[in-house]
Chains A and B, each alone.
Chain A
Amino acid sequence: MTLGQRRWMPWLYLLPALGLLITFTYVPVGNMLLYSFTSWDGLDVTMEPAGLDNYVRVFTDERYWRVFLVSGYYFAASFVQIAIALYFAVILSFETRFRNLFKGILFFPYLLNGVAVGFVFLYLFQPGGTLDTVLGGIGLGEHTRFWLGDPDVANISLAGTSVWRFTGLSFVLFLGAIQSIPGEVYEAAEIDGAGRWHQFRHIIVPGIRRIISLSFILAISGSLSVFEIPFIMTGGANGTRTFVVQAYETAFQFRQIGLASAMAVVLLIVVLIVTWVQRRLVPDEEVQLT
């Protein structure tokens, strides 16, 4: 092999991956920045510069900044999700009857098709549907309402659906992390007289700190990029429009590519800042890829 051959050889292997990476991630990010300063409709040959107009609109027009408030519901819900997942991951890490069955049941929703989940919960929440029947059955009949039609509760219903769908993912991540803590640590703690709660506080939580902080990152970027649940279940009606639903409508229904790009840039910046802050707070010492 000549030296010249050696030099281009690794690039040959990297070419497909790099080509795809640049074409479908880096070029779009660059283009998006460019479009965000224009009033392009996606069809015109020329792009009219628009300065900061699109950004001003995203931050001043209620239709656009309201979607951040909607994200708040999903963000709050992710705390519920993490708490439920952590509780069940801890109890299922120790001796429990039918452990594998419960593990399977808890995790299963995560594998389901998003459209299917949307339909399952549309059915559950419809007037006179499953939820209303169950509430009536246990004597809470007066609490029934238009779960998806009432703007005061619609987002809570949708965020609840999101908790149902994603708790299994957090659960499996926590379970894996807890199981990587060596068993002797618990034994030693038990000899020292530490109860379950102390074991949880002083062994489990520090042992899985990394995965807990990763879950919060996923929760933040996840709650900013919610799309399927509101799109399928309410179509964004009754005040349930999220950032991505709004961006989708702006770009693909109203053909305001410039404005939609500005929204996407704002979203991207928020996600990057959040990730950066998290990396600062919890340094990821385990990244060593080469």
Chain B
Amino acid sequence: MFHWLEKHPFFFAVGVFVVIAFAGLIEIVPNFAQASRPVIGTKPISLLEQAGRDVYIKNSCNACHSQLIRPFKAETDRYGHYSLSGEYAYDRPFLWGSKRTGPDLHRVGNYRTTEWHENHMKDPKSVMPSSIMPGYPWMFTNSADIDTAYATQLTNAQFFGVPYNKPVPMKDGSTTVVKMADSVAQAHAMALEEAKKITAKMKDQDVKDAVAAGKIPEIVALIAYLNSLK
């Protein structure tokens, strides 16, 4: 049979394809039926948080920080409850990372504050004296891309059924509604409201002034996102 295949390239290629495609069919397809169910307490990401997630991705924070707490005592001691599949139901793309040059961030919102993040992003050594992380000072002046974050929300709602403007169950039995804007103009207004709450706890005067003037620096969005990781 093999000799015959080596003289018939078409059937050879078909054979190779069948053999390599087999594993994917068996291993990947079944999971699609069940893995995207959110656990209780998982809610869609807000607009400013989405913009912050985009900043996180833009700077490849996931190259050094994971967002996946493994079920080991050492990890739950250090980072909190181990990660559950349903917590990632709205994560597009997933940001688990593959290398921990820095610590895991999946529940960083539980133990770091706005002020800590602000200092850390401006000069990591100011809060972690022997940190090897570089500073990200340009995040204090670059503006967050609210338009793209809004487009992302729209796509998530339309194509993937992410429940914006719908009640989602919380752990205490109540429900929460995460609102999505109806227009770009309204989106900017909503993001600015969120940003004002973050900057109230920040120190950098330029950032405060920018938000007061209606602009949203990247750092504000990023901190909103990091605070949401719980």
Task: Say whether A and B bind each other.
Answer: no
Interface set of A (CB-CB < 8 Å, partner B)? none
Interface set of B (CB-CB < 8 Å, partner A)? none
